[in-house]
Amino acid sequence: MKYNIEKLNQIAQKVAEMVQEAIEDENQEGVLIGDVEMAMREGLREIGGQALKYFLENADGEVAAEIECACGGKLKYQRHREATIWSVFDKVTYRRAYYASCACGKGCAPLDQRYGIEPDKVTAGLAHLIALSGIDKAFEDGKKWLKEYLLFEVSENTIRAETQKMGELQRQAEVQMIAETQDEASLQKRERGPKREVTCLYGSIDAAKVRIEPRDEQEKAAENREKWRDLKAGCWYEGESVPKRQRSARQRHKAQREGTVLRAKNKQYFCDIDNAEEFGKLLWATGCAVGADCAKLLVFICDGAVWIWNLIAYYFPNAIQIVDWYHAEERLKRIAEDVFSNLNERHVWLEKVTEDLWQGRVELVIAACQPFSTKSELARLAVTYYGNNIERMRYDQFRAAGYLIGSGVIENGCKQIVTQRLKLPGAQWNLDGAILTAKARTAWLSGNWQKLVSARSLLPLAI
């Protein structure tokens, strides 16, 4: 919105005079700029609250004797009724025309409907800020943080409710996507419509443990209850070359070996706590949303989990499959530490077998691990691991084709969703709370937060 500069200057002058008078009235000495700033913030908050009250009351317009009811009947004017909302300026109470006496028994305030107001509730503008706190901080810490920024207190329960409301909006959007991509008629309509052109698209899937604290007393007492659940997460993204001037020290070192350095862009995260079959529906739906089903080239980079590759093979059978290089390399390091006590022998073996892996000679890697499989559990498991993923580890071919070979994008995503939010000190979750908070956070990480804010503003009002 654009405002009249002359009027803004007049208001600014009045505010400055008001703050000056307040300082003089309190006979404060040694006032510093920080004190002036805080006084102005508090004053502007009070002004904002009063201005919002006047705006709403003046926006009510001319009062009609009766208006149309949603049921088709007539609503009659009753009186100017008081309502309270919690806004970014704190609690604001205003009066507006209220209508009732329809045969359906319902009443309404046209002003509330026009501006998307739900009396006695948090406004969409404040909900936006509250939920931003909730996806980043523990609700208790968010309460303290918000007080410093808003200059009034918001309860921990309100932060939880608004954060999870955003998560619920994200879940509803996903449910709709899943329904459309599981419906044959919708898929055929989509097939006939314009296609989203994607030259090369990447996908990665992983999982991280979340501690779930049951609320039901009977469930709490159960000895075999599942305390930890897998939050499954995925990410769709594209790759781009990192310009030399922007490369970190690690990337410069990487460039010496690989010749080029790629990074992810346009990342779109999704997550849920559910079984693999249900998560697969979300994988397919989000994939269709970003054009994975019609991408010229689709590449998946994941770890060796069987459930992951089973989903990929089912939904995207033509995709190129790559096991994350760093997972594969790390296994060799652990085996070397386990079977060689002599540091020189360890170094020689590890250097040779790592080079074989780098060059895609997976059969030689398996042969190198095989002799230790009888005395090392790590080596025994590695033989199976490399054997099951031979074609997913042709790293020489993948590099030659210019593909990314590391799944750091989804590992970082799991850290940001789970480690940096769901596993914060003192965090306790029931199942739904963990899911909704995680979904709200993925919307923020994916750059889709404003869509949730807009959806929150359009929520149907309580009458």
Task: In whole angstroms, give the CA distance from residue 414 to residue 351.
Answer: 31
Beta strands in 148-227 (DSSP E): 200-211
Identify the pLDDT of residue 170.
97
Average pLDDT, the chain: 91
Q: Over 70: is that where the pLDDT of 93 sits?
A: yes
Q: Over 70: is that where the pLDDT of 166 sits?
A: yes
pLDDT in tens, 4-26: 899 999 999 999 998 888 888 87
Identify the pLDDT of residue 279.
98
pLDDT in tens, 300-354: 999 989 999 999 999 999 999 999 999 999 999 999 999 999 999 999 999 999 9
* pLDDT mean over 227-253: 87
Identify the pLDDT of residue 57.
95
Percent of the chain topping pLDDT 90 = 77
What confidence category does residue 252 fall into, taking pLDDT thresholds of 50, 70 and 90? Answer: confident
Q: What are phi and psi of 444, to 5 degrees?
A: -65, -45
Q: Where are the domains of the chain?
A: 1-121, 122-148+155-324+406-463
Angle at 200 between CA 194 and CA 202, to 5 degrees: 110
Token duo for residue 69: 């009811």
pLDDT in tens, 173-222: 999 999 999 988 887 887 777 767 778 999 999 999 999 987 666 656 66
Identify the pLDDT of residue 366.
98
Of residues 400 and 23, the one with the higher pLDDT is 400
Please, is 359 exposed, middle or buried when counting C-beta atoms within 10 Å of its C-beta (0-12, 13-18, 19+)? middle
Model pTM score: 0.88
* pLDDT mean over 93-122: 94
Identify the pLDDT of residue 443.
97
Q: Over 80: is that where the pLDDT of 70 sits?
A: yes
Cα–Cα nearest to 233, from 441, 453, 447, 405: 441
Q: Over 90: is that where the pLDDT of 64 sits?
A: yes
Angle at 233 between CA 230 and CA 237, to 5 degrees: 165
What confidence category does residue 461 fall into, taking pLDDT thresholds of 50, 70 and 90? Answer: very low
Q: Over 50: is that where the pLDDT of 297 sits?
A: yes
Residues 6+ apart with CB under 8 A from 208: 230, 231, 233, 414, 417, 418, 419
Give the CA count within 13 Å in the CB-facing half-sphere of 335. 30
Q: Which residue has the tokens 């501006």?
A: 115
Identify the pLDDT of residue 462.
37
Residues 6+ apart with CB under 8 A from 252: none
Identify the pLDDT of residue 215.
63
Percent of the chain topping pLDDT 70 = 94
> Is residue 247 a contact partner of residue 211, using CB atoms and an 8 Å limit?
no
> Is residue 229 a contact partner of residue 210, using CB atoms and an 8 Å limit?
yes
- Which residue type does 91 have? K
Q: Over 60: is that where the pLDDT of 463 sits?
A: no
pLDDT in tens, 356-398: 999 999 999 999 999 999 999 999 999 999 999 999 999 999 9
